[in-house]
């Protein structure tokens, strides 16, 4: 009798313990679907000039105080099993806005035109400015021109000599005008 009383009192608790793993599995499944949708959405628009178009499950919005940056929130599931995921991504910056220094007004002449977009990769040793064919072959794959040795970090930039530059890298990464420019 005592055993049956205890079982009767614990029945609701036992039921909750039995359902919790199934509910967690359903939430995890919905989270996985929402995560996949967010990653696919972000990768579709990242690095392009296309304005993101909302879908049934994903809504995009511009990020505050940023240019060309968006966040996407994708949702999947219903009721208490709804799961949402937010991811951020950035559109490509139009080329004309990136080329802010070209030696104009300084009297400096450079052998090559300054690339309008740089990739995150340093130029190889055999083509330290990327002008001997490296950028021609890899510009699209890398997402822009390689970064020359002299522009890879601020120390190299400060100790370089503008007279030896093949194109204008003055004020690269906002490091200010070169002291010898």
Q: Is the pLDDT of residue 127 over 50?
A: yes
Structure tokens at 18: 């039995």
| pLDDT score of 14 | 55
Distance CA 144, CA 120 (A): 8
DSSP string of 138-173, one letter each residue: HHHHHTSEEEPGGGSSHHHHHTS-GGG-SS--TTGG
Nearest in space to 117 (alpha carbons), one of 139, 136, 101: 139
- Quick: pLDDT tens for 34-85: 999 999 999 898 888 888 999 999 999 988 777 788 999 999 999 999 999 9
Q: Is the pLDDT of residue 33 over 70?
A: yes
């Amino acid at each position: 009798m005592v055993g049956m009383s205890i079982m009767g009192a614990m029945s609701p608790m036992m039921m909750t313990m039995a359902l919790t793993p199934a509910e967690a599995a359903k939430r995890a499944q919905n989270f996985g679907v929402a995560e996949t949708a967010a990653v696919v959405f972000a990768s579709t628009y990242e690095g392009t000039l296309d304005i993101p178009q909302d879908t049934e499950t994903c809504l995009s919005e511009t990020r505050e105080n940023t240019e060309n940056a968006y966040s996407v929130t994708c949702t999947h599931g219903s009721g208490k099993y709804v799961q949402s995921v937010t991811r951020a991504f950035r559109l490509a910056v139009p080329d004309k806005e990136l080329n802010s220094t070209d030696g104009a007004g300084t009297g400096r002449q450079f052998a090559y035109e300054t690339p309008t977009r740089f990739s995150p990769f340093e130029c190889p040793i055999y083509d330290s400015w990327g002008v001997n064919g490296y950028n021609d072959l890899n510009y699209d794959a890398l997402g822009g021109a390689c970064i020359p040795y002299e522009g890879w970090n601020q120390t190299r930039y400060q100790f370089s000599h503008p007279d030896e530059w093949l194109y204008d890298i003055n004020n690269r990464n906002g490091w200010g005008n070169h002291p010898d420019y």
